[in-house]
Structure 1
């Protein structure tokens, strides 16, 4: 698996929006971002550190216009912090190694899947399709997409 860390080189490669979201805690526009309606099977990694964060198998349709997930792929790569900005009380979600602002956690997710909703900015993520997992160094996640016949499962 690739090494996961934050570096000045990786920060310098971010687009303006990716920088504002991950480094300045901003939020991208809803329904006008790259991954909100992505249905392809694969995993989502931190755009800064590359650490695996979420899987398409845990993606849910929140109808909010941002990618939403019911749980992290690797809980140890996500930290939840109190956020009282903008006159609200929320839970901020950040990556551990990249220290990237990812989005927020809400208690209004699908009840049959634990009731949580990780609402995440596309600008903080890089999507790795299942067919590229091995080549990108994330081959250990392939088995979660395999069906008994050996075909990859479809995302929800």
Structure 2
């Protein structure tokens, strides 16, 4: 199924589509109660995922430590999601902790991932700086053209 990153559906629509697909695929194969229990389980997991997404923008209420999960940096979802996506990193394990992101930033490798360009690299580096980590912006490394005078 093709992925179109430029188009989004509201969360409630996605949830309704998932429920409808489950009901349709299980219709006539299982007792109605079994189907409803499956839908309840999906709703519960969906609610958990929404809570996790809400926490993505929540930031951190204490000092951010290297072992903290990336969400402690308080990155917006549009930065957090590609940073932590399996597909972004060419099927390798994406960073999960602040320390792993810091290592990538220090090595100038943040822009080596799909969907993470100079603007997102800058936001990630800014978040690391706000958290107290010494990260220098290397605009030259991020392929930003020099200003012409």
TM over 0.5: no
Question: Larger Cα Rg: Structure 1 or Structure 2?
Answer: 2
Query: When the two structures are superposed, what TM-score results if normalisation uses the length of structure 2?
Result: 0.28
Whose strand fraction is larger, Structure 1's or Structure 2's? 1
Q: Determine which structure has greater relative contact order: mean sequence separation of CA pairs < 8 Å that are 6+ residues apart, divided by chain length.
A: 1
